[in-house]
């Protein structure tokens, strides 16, 4: 790879995230261009490729990744298709930015972990974009500085205005709380060892049968306690907040009081409508960091180990949700490649 001055990226998956990343690579970030668009829906792939220009459309991953124009892969297809695409990318030794989830379960994530070890070097950055959000970056720097002492607890709130119609109770864990799993491990530098999921009587705004909201508790190997309120039909907007409670102080992010307006006897600001708007800048910084690292021949950011560890925590979480008890997380030993 890296035969080109500008990195030729194959975007796999022409859905919401794929289309947004195509726009991002074309209009926002530098050092890369979209060289191929791949989707099982050929018309979608063709339509998006036509909008970019000088870019080929494919309906087959193997064919696209064999193209001499392709130096790197941005994987934005549904999670179920990730394992096969990742293994194909490994065959060509291509760098990958893989949207979350790495794969849908811990067993398949472990297979990817083993395949990357066979390759002998890291090739994958996983799309946990919160690590590139300025507020989370500042919170991590503060916690790492040790100024506030040890982190005792982390309180998280994660609210979406609404969820897609196909959302299931398990998806609140697998699709949404997955972000808090990654960010908790990253902020604290600890692994999650046990998960307990509780649920109040569901909101009247949630579709019939959906356990929404849920209240999730993580225990970590460093002795911290972490709670996550996940509520995906909160209606009023998209909000993600976190508060670290430490020995000598606390720090909170996500209030986003960017502009306060006083008008007609009220004061206040606005709430972002969705995650695309809330994390817009984080996605830009994530993709730019991936392009820059790839052009230097490096892999940075969250990797396959993180994707695997989060998949294992998700599995414990879904079991806790269905069995109504605390479930311990089972992890293999961390391989040397990821130390
Ligand atoms: C979605 O898949 C995401 O990744 C968003 O960040 C999250 O807020 C949302 O709940 C998920 O469905």
Cα(177) to ligand 1 centroid in Å equals 8
Cα(175) to ligand 1 centroid in Å equals 6
Ligand 1: does its nearest atom lie under 6 Å from the Cβ of 180? Answer: no
Ligand 1: does its nearest atom lie under 6 Å from the Cβ of 178? Answer: no
Q: Compute the distance between CA of residue 83 and CA of residue 88 in angstroms, rounded to an integer.
A: 9
pLDDT of residue 258: 83
Mean pLDDT of the chain: 97
pLDDT of residue 280: 96
Does the pTM exceed 0.95? Answer: yes
pLDDT at residue 2 above 90?
no
Among 158, 176, 282, the mutation site with the greatest number of ligand 1 atoms within 8 A of its Cβ is 176
pLDDT at residue 265 above 50?
yes
Question: 3 falls in which pLDDT band (50, 70, 90)?
Answer: low
Ligand 1: does its nearest atom lie under 6 Å from the Cβ of 129? Answer: no
Look at ligand 1, atom 2, and give the residue with the nearest C-alpha.
175
Look at ligand 1, atom 7, and give the residue with the nearest C-alpha.
176
Segment 317-321 mean pLDDT:
98
pLDDT of residue 7: 98
pLDDT digits (tens, 9 = 90+) for 206-218: 999 999 999 999 9
Cα(278) to ligand 1 centroid in Å equals 11
Of 72, 64, 68, 90, the residue nearest 31 (C-alpha): 72
Of 190, 274, 276, 278, the residue nearest 226 (C-alpha): 190
pLDDT of residue 54: 87
pLDDT at residue 256 above 90?
no
Of 259, 247, 272, 195, the residue nearest 226 (C-alpha): 195
What is the residue whose two structure tokens read 């909170």?
252
Looking at residue 119, the DSSP 8-state letter turns out to be H
Domain 131-278+309-338 of CATH type 3.30.360.10: yes
pLDDT digits (tens, 9 = 90+) for 74-122: 999 999 999 999 999 999 999 999 999 999 999 999 999 999 999 999 9
Ligand 1: does its nearest atom lie under 6 Å from the Cβ of 160? Answer: yes
Q: Compute the distance between CA of residue 143 and CA of residue 145 in angstroms, rounded to an integer.
A: 5
Look at ligand 1, atom 9, and give the residue with the nearest C-alpha.
176
Q: Compute the distance between CA of residue 13 and CA of residue 5 in angstroms, rounded to an integer.
A: 25
Cα(184) to ligand 1 centroid in Å equals 16
Of 8, 3, 74, the residue nearest 38 (C-alpha): 74
Q: Taking the domains of the chain in order of start, what are their residue ranges? A: 2-130+281-302, 131-278+309-338
pLDDT of residue 1: 46
**What's 2-130+281-302's CATH class?**
alpha beta
Of 271, 172, 282, 179, the residue nearest 226 (C-alpha): 179
- The first and second tokens of residue 331, run together, are 């992890």
Question: 18 falls in which pLDDT band (50, 70, 90)?
Answer: very high
């Amino acid at each position: 790879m890296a035969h080109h001055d500008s990195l030729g990226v194959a975007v796999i998956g022409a859905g919401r995230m794929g289309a947004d990343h195509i726009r991002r690579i074309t209009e926002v970030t530098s050092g890369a261009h979209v060289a191929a668009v791949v989707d099982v829906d050929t018309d979608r792939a063709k339509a998006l490729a036509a909008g970019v220009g000088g870019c080929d459309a494919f309906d087959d991953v193997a064919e696209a990744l064999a193209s001499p124009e392709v130096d790197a892969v941005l994987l934005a297809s549904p999670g179920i298709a990730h394992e096969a695409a990742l293994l194909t990318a490994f065959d060509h030794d291509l760098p990958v930015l893989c949207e979350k989830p790495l794969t849908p379960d811990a067993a398949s994530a472990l297979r990817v972990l083993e395949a990357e070890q066979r390759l002998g070097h890291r090739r994958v950055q996983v799309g946990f974009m919160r690590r590139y959000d300025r507020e989370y970056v500042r919170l991590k720097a503060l916690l790492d500085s040790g100024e506030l002492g040890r982190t005792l607890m982390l309180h998280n709130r994660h609210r979406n205005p609404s969820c897609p119609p196909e959302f299931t109770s398990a998806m609140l864990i697998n699709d949404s709380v997955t972000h808090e799993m990654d960010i908790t491990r990253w902020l604290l530098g600890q692994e999650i060892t046990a998960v307990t999921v509780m649920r109040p009587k569901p909101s009247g705004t949630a579709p019939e049968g959906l356990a929404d909201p849920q209240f999730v508790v993580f225990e970590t190997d460093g002795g911290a306690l972490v709670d996550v309120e996940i509520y995906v039909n909160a209606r009023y907007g998209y909000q993600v907040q976190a508060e670290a409670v430490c020995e000598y102080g606390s720090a909170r992010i996500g209030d986003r009081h960017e502009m306060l307006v006083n008008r007609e006897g009220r004061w206040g600001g606005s709430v972002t409508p969705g995650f695309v708007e809330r994390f817009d800048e984080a996605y830009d910084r994530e993709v730019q960091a991936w392009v820059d690292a790839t052009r230097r021949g490096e892999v940075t950011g969250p990797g396959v180990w993180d994707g695997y560890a989060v998949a294992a925590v998700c599995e414990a979480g879904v079991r806790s949700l269905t069995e109504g008890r605390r479930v311990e997380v089972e992890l293999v030993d961390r391989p040397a490649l990821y130390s």
